[in-house]
């Protein structure tokens, strides 16, 4: 039936919400929005005369999202059922008893949290592979078999001011039809919406262990979310099912079947901005938080302003619906039902909760008061936790054998072993799809980017074998004559083994006499298994002198430590800390496997406005200092004695490190230079004729008179304008030219920043970024809280495996070619990726495009070749090969995609986009591309069903939730407390992250610590990133690769607080803790071991932040609950899914 809709206005998608009290925000043109109510009275049904703001031009207010056409008329097509669909809609809270869940009875006793154990995390996202077809995560329900809801619900609020009337609230839901079945059910009773008046600065909730979420009446349009099955299975026949038809109301959803039990998540979030607090005043479901946080996550530097925000009121009581009582079924294993994270006991009725659904309405008579719309049940939409857990259970026990072409690997979050049998391990290369379209037309139609995330020097777990080193002597590796591809398992030997045909370009090449070997009856060489390059996907060749600079074998690299000794660095204790640490750290310089000591030489420089070089030659009794004050024309005042062997010069070096803090103890010099410091290191390496790395410890904006001098250009007013992109660009081209010189010499720069104010990371980061180096940032560095994190980062940075003077080239078989590259490197031509240094954590992301047709028979091949100098000065080639399938059917493409890799690529693409386009344009392009990917699937691969159903490909069902996390990240949607430097830092960091790091960065891992089994090694099962999952009687840990938050609920048992923090009450827990106290009890040991496990999985030492519920720091923590709506205007997961559905429908119509 078609419903005439009265427009409900909400602000355009992705914009901050107007009219929150105390949180003035400009409208589109910069002026504040008219007509937003200051405060809402208690909501008892429609309010006459409630002023609504005027809708923004070009937006259809019924959904509060940008829209191209008119609002969709609601067509309740309930008789047909999509082959696979999810979920049940939830009614919003009304006064009275909670509605029972039809189709699921609640046990009265406690329910176990989860029977799954949480293994160690390694790598991935869902993959339906040819050999290993993953079972579908959703199947149809037949009447009589009732699913149990997946544990816990995620919050969900509406965009913009609340609807003025029930009619508007209903219109807000219109525009989606939802397939419904007899098993479709309102969710379990009492799903905890707080409806207690919050007091400013505190929050409370009645009768529930809940952690005051937002009101359920705040709702966007629902979407029928159905997940497309792997198309290997026939669609299910449609079923005609009687459903309630309500005026202007959307029929229900069914929750997913138990193939989706709840389990641990691991990995990513956004960083920075917090989630909305509620406003003081009349009873509102919500909560308030006031005051700025006193400590920030790793990259966040300045505290947000206190802000308050209006919560919305529960809808009117439900009436006029009657019907039979729902059938009950026992819960199924693996789905312990929980309300809102109150694990165990089911709670009784909640205040302001609707009563049971009395039966089917009478269509002939006029309806009574209109019922409130159903709410999209967060448990009915795809859950990252569920997908991760399923993959662990299905694929974590068997080794991943790489012998088969086009196999989709397990997820990055699954702990699995790899057996190399001819294709590179997924630890080295992951692709967005393992089955690529045969033609460019098909690729354009699907819009799925074809990309590989390559981590050439990735660290392997101890159980896996490192790549073998092959030495072919003076003749060097065997290569194709035409395209210069290296010998690999896919080369075809012909003519009895005398020649081989290249698998990349089809050219035939003579086999060198020393390499000749006979073929067996299958055409394979008889030494096939003796040669790594014929039987393995990854291996190394020893390079000959032809592969070396100036045809000379390289000298082992050098490390130069360059320490800022200006007033700030000395006063904070940083200089003394660095000098003390270096005394012992120099014993741990990287070395080749069997070497007694490292071949790396070291040098030392200190600087403020001038540079001080130190002669630490072993024959000296005391170190000598030489000052270069002419910073405009930098030179190195000594050659002999500057770069030395640590063991030979140990006493002189120790003496120097003791003297530096004393020499500069009384300095008054506050100004620093920066570019001359890099130039000095570069000149020293040039003079020594070697590659190397500069470790620069720097504290402030370089304003002293010198080359590369910078000015403070920070301007928050540029955010959300066309000039915002200038904040991400370097303010001078000087550093780009300097980076080019560094790359030519093999001089890599690692930068440790300790800012107390703006220091222009976008500009200072250019040289580290383009030389393949790293940036570490410790805002407002304080010795007592930050030294542990800094020292851990420094130790790992100095000790990790690095390849110097590196060049990487990616070759492909005919039909596709590498067209675009993302990462920390420099390119002087279109094919060679040049890096002064490449470490074991860095990735290079490569995008491929078609330049011809591919064939299903031969597939497609990639070969990544990395030429580099090892830390012992050995020139090597590391080769990684990967074979992919090709398809003529879109269904095969969608069945073999890897969502985590896709998100990694899309984030990098978007983060590069902000350098040249307005952020809004970048966001819109991301949404549009993903809508096109999903619309193409819907149109070409899903079986016909009502347009009102959202159907997602099985292995892309998490694309909307993860994409929303990218859109809400600080680079694309910063909160008021996120500084320009934070955004530039995060932008550079993400650009060279691997897939496991972006996964946990964008969707953080949230673990209930109080559920941890102290007698087991397993991590507790993760829960979804939403405030609704938190119980105030529990303690949770959230990690995103940069920070670890420990959130303590206000009602946590005193004994737990004593065991973990060593204090007797909640109020005594200190926010200033940077490590957990070492206490001798099982709970403390377990939590500290969990923290250690997580720290060990990440490339950087995460900052620990303790957050008490209702504390001012909590706003910061809530920013990482990425399934909820964010204070900066970012959509909740449910809202965004509805928005994506609308975009897809528009594309299809």
Please write the tens of the pLDDT for every residue from 311-363: 334 333 333 334 444 444 433 333 333 333 333 333 333 333 333 333 334 44
880 - beta bridge partners?
Answer: 538, 864
Answer whether residue 899 shows pLDDT above 70.
yes
Question: In the chain, what percentage of residues exceed pLDDT 90?
Answer: 64
The predicted pLDDT at position 947 comes to 78
The predicted pLDDT at position 854 comes to 96
The Cα–Cα gap between 715 and 1021 comes to 43
Axis-axis angle for helices 574-585, 650-663 (nearest 10): 170
The answer to whether the Cα torsion of 531, 533, 536, 538 is positive or negative is: positive
- Six token digits for residue 91: 């009614």
Answer whether residue 123 shows pLDDT above 60.
no
Q: How sure is the predictor about 267, in pLDDT bands with cuts at 50, 70 and 90?
A: very low
The predicted pLDDT at position 360 comes to 39
The Cα–Cα gap between 746 and 772 comes to 10
Q: How sure is the predictor about 375, in pLDDT bands with cuts at 50, 70 and 90?
A: low
Query: Tens digits of per-residue pLDDT, 1084-1109?
Result: 999 999 999 999 999 999 999 999 99
- Region 178-182: mean pLDDT is 34
SS3 1113: coil
Question: Which candidate, 172, 109, 182, 174, places its Cα nearest to that of 145?
Answer: 182
Question: Which candidate, 751, 801, 778, places its Cα nearest to that of 1101?
Answer: 778
The answer to whether the Cα torsion of 23, 28, 32, 37 is positive or negative is: negative
844 - beta bridge partners?
Answer: 454
Answer whether residue 754 shows pLDDT above 90.
yes
The Cα–Cα gap between 1057 and 455 comes to 42
Query: Tens digits of per-residue pLDDT, 958-985?
Result: 999 999 999 999 999 988 889 999 999 9
Query: Tens digits of per-residue pLDDT, 664-678?
Result: 999 999 999 999 999
The predicted pLDDT at position 368 comes to 53
Q: How sure is the predictor about 943, in pLDDT bands with cuts at 50, 70 and 90?
A: confident
Q: How sure is the predictor about 639, in pLDDT bands with cuts at 50, 70 and 90?
A: confident
Query: Tens digits of per-residue pLDDT, 460-516?
Result: 999 999 999 999 999 999 999 999 999 999 999 999 999 999 999 999 999 999 999
Answer whether residue 714 shows pLDDT above 50.
yes
SS3 1117: helix
User: Which has the higher per-residue pLDDT, 270 or 981?
Assistant: 981
The predicted pLDDT at position 560 comes to 98
Mean pLDDT taken over the chain: 77
The predicted pLDDT at position 975 comes to 82
- Region 607-622: mean pLDDT is 96
The predicted pLDDT at position 259 comes to 37
* Least confident segment among 255-264, 649-658, 1018-1027: 255-264
What does the chain come to in residues? Answer: 1149
The predicted pLDDT at position 363 comes to 44
Report in angstroms the alpha-carbon separations of 459 from 252, 426, 467, 835: 48, 12, 11, 19
The predicted pLDDT at position 210 comes to 35
User: Which has the higher per-residue pLDDT, 246 or 638?
Assistant: 638
- Region 785-812: mean pLDDT is 96
The Cα–Cα gap between 412 and 662 comes to 48
User: Which has the higher per-residue pLDDT, 1106 or 49?
Assistant: 1106
The predicted pLDDT at position 253 comes to 38
Residues 236 and 358 sit within 8 Å (Cβ to Cβ) = no
The Cα–Cα gap between 187 and 88 comes to 7
Contacts of residue 470, Cβ cutoff 8 Å, sequence gap at least 6:
477, 531, 532, 533, 539, 540, 541, 542
Residues 875 and 554 sit within 8 Å (Cβ to Cβ) = yes
Q: How sure is the predictor about 626, in pLDDT bands with cuts at 50, 70 and 90?
A: very high
Read off the pTM: 0.72
Answer whether residue 70 shows pLDDT above 50.
no
Number of H helices, E strands in the chain: 22, 35
The Cα–Cα gap between 932 and 937 comes to 9
What are the φ/ψ torsions at residue 265 (nearest 5 degrees)? -100, 160
Residues 1049 and 1129 sit within 8 Å (Cβ to Cβ) = no
The predicted pLDDT at position 715 comes to 92
The predicted pLDDT at position 370 comes to 57
Question: Which candidate, 952, 1137, 1115, 1120, places its Cα nearest to that of 23?
Answer: 1115
Task: Annotate 1040-1077 with DSSP letters as a single string.
Answer: -SSEEEEEE-TT--HHHHHHHHS-SSGGG--TT-SS--
Answer whether residue 244 shows pLDDT above 50.
no
Neighbours of 854 (CB within 10 A): 25
Task: Annotate 641-675 with DSSP letters as a single string.
Answer: TTSB-TTTTHHHHHHHHHHHHHHTTT--------H
């Amino acid at each position: 039936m078609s419903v005439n809709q009265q427009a409900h206005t909400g602000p355009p998608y992705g914009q901050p919400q107007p009219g929150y009290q105390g949180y003035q925000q400009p409208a589109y043109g910069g002026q504040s929005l008219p007509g937003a109510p200051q405060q809402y009275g208690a909501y008892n049904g429609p309010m006459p005369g409630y002023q609504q703001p005027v809708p923004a031009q070009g937006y259809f207010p019924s959904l509060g999202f940008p829209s191209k056409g008119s609002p969709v008329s609601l067509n309740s097509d309930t008789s047909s059922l999509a082959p696979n669909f999810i979920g049940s809609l939830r009614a919003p809270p009304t006064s009275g008893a909670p509605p029972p869940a039809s189709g699921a009875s609640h046990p009265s006793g406690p329910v176990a949290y989860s029977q799954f154990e949480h293994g160690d995390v390694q790598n991935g996202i869902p993959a339906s592979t040819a050999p290993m077809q993953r079972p579908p995560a959703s199947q149809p329900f037949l009447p009589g078999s009732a699913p149990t809801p997946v544990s816990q619900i995620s919050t969900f609020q509406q965009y913009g001011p609340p609807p003025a009337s029930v009619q508007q609230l209903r219109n807000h839901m219109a525009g989606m039809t939802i397939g419904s079945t007899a098993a479709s059910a309102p969710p379990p009773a009492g799903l905890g919406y707080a409806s207690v008046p919050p007091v400013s600065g505190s929050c409370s909730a009645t009768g529930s262990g809940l952690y005051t979420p937002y009101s359920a009446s705040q709702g966007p349009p629902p979407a029928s979310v159905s997940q497309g099955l792997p198309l290997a299975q026939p669609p299910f026949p449609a079923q005609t099912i009687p459903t309630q038809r309500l005026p202007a109301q959307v029929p229900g959803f069914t929750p997913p079947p138990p193939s989706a039990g709840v389990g641990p998540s691991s990995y990513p979030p956004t960083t920075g901005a917090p989630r909305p607090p509620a406003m003081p005043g009349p009873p509102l479901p919500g909560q308030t938080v006031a005051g700025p946080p006193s400590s920030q996550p790793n990259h966040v530097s300045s505290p947000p302003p206190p802000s308050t925000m209006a919560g919305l009121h529960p809808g009117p009581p439900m009436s006029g619906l009657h019907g039979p009582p729902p059938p009950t079924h026992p819960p199924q294993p693996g789905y312990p039902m929980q309300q809102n994270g109150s694990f165990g006991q089911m709670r009784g009725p909640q205040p302001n909760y609707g009563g049971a659904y009395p039966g089917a309405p009478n269509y002939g008579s006029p309806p009574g008061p209109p019922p409130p719309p159903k709410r999209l049940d967060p448990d009915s939409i795809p859950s990252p936790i569920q997908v991760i857990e399923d993959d662990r259970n299905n694929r974590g026990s068997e080794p991943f054998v790489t012998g088969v072409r086009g196999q989709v690997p397990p997820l990055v979050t699954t702990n699995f072993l790899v057996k190399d049998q001819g294709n590179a391990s997924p630890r080295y290369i992951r692709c967005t799809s393992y089955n690529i379209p045969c033609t460019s037309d098909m690729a354009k139609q699907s819009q799925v980017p074809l990309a590989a995330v390559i981590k050439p020097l990735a660290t392997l777990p101890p159980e896996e074998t490192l790549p073998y080193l092959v030495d072919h002597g003076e003749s060097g590796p065997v290569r194709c004559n035409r395209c210069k591809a290296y010998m690999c398992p896919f080369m075809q030997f012909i003519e009895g083994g005398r020649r081989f045909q290249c698998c990349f370009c089809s050219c035939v090449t003579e086999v060198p006499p020393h390499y000749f070997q006979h073929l067996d009856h299958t055409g394979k060489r008889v030494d096939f298994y003796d040669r790594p390059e014929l039987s393995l996907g990854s291996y190394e060749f020893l390079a000959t002198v032809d592969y070396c600079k100036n045809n000379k074998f390289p000298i082992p690299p050098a490390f130069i430590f360059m320490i800022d000794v200006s007033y700030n660095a000395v006063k904070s204790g940083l200089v003394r800390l660095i000098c003390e640490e270096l005394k012992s750290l120099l014993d741990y310089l990287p070395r080749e496997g069997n070497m007694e000591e490292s071949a790396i030489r070291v040098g030392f420089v200190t600087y403020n406005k001038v540079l001080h070089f130190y002669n630490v030659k072993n024959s000296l009794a005391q170190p000598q200092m030489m000052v270069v004050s002419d910073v405009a024309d930098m030179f190195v005042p000594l050659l002999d004695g500057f770069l030395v062997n640590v063991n030979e010069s140990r006493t002189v070096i120790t003496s120097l490190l003791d003297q530096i803090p004393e020499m500069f103890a009384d300095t008054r010099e506050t100004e620093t230079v920066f570019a001359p410091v890099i130039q000095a290191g570069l000149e020293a390496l040039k003079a020594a004729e070697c590659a190397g790395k500069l470790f620069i410890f720097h504290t402030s904006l370089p304003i002293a008179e010198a080359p590369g001098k910078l000015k403070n250009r920070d301007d928050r007013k540029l955010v959300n304008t066309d000039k915002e992109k200038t904040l991400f660009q370097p303010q001078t081209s000087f550093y780009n030219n300097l980076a080019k010189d560094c790359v030519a010499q093999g001089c890599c720069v690692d930068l440790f920043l300790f800012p107390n104010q703006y220091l222009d990371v976008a500009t200072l980061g250019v040289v580290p970024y383009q030389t393949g180096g790293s940036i570490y940032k410790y805002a407002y560095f304080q010795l007592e809280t930050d030294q542990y994190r800094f020292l851990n980062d420094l130790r790992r940075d100095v000790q990790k495996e690095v390849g110097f003077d590196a060049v990487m080239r990616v070759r492909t078989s005919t039909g596709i070619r590498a067209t675009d590259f993302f990462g920390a490197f420099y390119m002087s031509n279109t094919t060679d990726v040049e890096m002064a240094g490449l470490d074991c954590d860095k990735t290079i992301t490569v995008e491929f495009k078609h330049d011809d047709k591919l064939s299903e028979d031969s597939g497609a091949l990639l070969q990544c070749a990395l030429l580099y100098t090892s830390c012992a000065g050995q020139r090597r080639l590391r080769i990684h090969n990967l074979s992919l399938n090709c398809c003529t059917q879109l269904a095969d493409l969608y069945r073999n995609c890897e969502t985590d890799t896709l998100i990694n690529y899309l984030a990098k693409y978007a983060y590069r986009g902000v350098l040249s386009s307005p952020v809004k344009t970048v966001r819109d392009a991301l949404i549009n591309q993903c809508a096109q990917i999903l619309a193409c699937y819907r149109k070409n691969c899903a079986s016909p069903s009502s347009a009102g159903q959202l159907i997602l490909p099985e292995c892309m069902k998490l694309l909307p939730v993860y994409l929303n996390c990218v859109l809400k990240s600080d680079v694309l949607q910063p909160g008021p407390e996120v500084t320009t430097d934070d955004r530039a830092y995060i932008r550079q960091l993400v650009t060279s992250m691997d897939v496991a790091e972006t996964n946990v960065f964008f969707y953080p891992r949230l673990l209930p610590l109080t559920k941890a089994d102290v007698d087991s090694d397993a991590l507790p099962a993760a829960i979804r990133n939403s405030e609704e999952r938190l119980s105030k009687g529990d303690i949770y840990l959230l990690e995103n690769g940069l920070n670890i938050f420990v959130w303590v609920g206000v009602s946590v048992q005193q004994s737990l607080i004593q065991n973990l923090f060593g204090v007797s009450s909640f109020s005594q827990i200190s926010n200033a803790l940077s490590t957990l106290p070492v206490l001798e009890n099982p709970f403390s040991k377990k939590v500290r071991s969990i923290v250690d496990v997580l720290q060990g999985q990440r490339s950087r030492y995460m900052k620990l932040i303790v957050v008490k519920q209702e504390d001012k720091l909590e706003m910061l923590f809530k920013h990482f609950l990425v399934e909820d709506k964010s204070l900066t205007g970012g959509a909740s997961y449910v809202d965004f899914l509805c928005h994506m559905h609308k975009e897809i429908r528009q594309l299809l119509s």
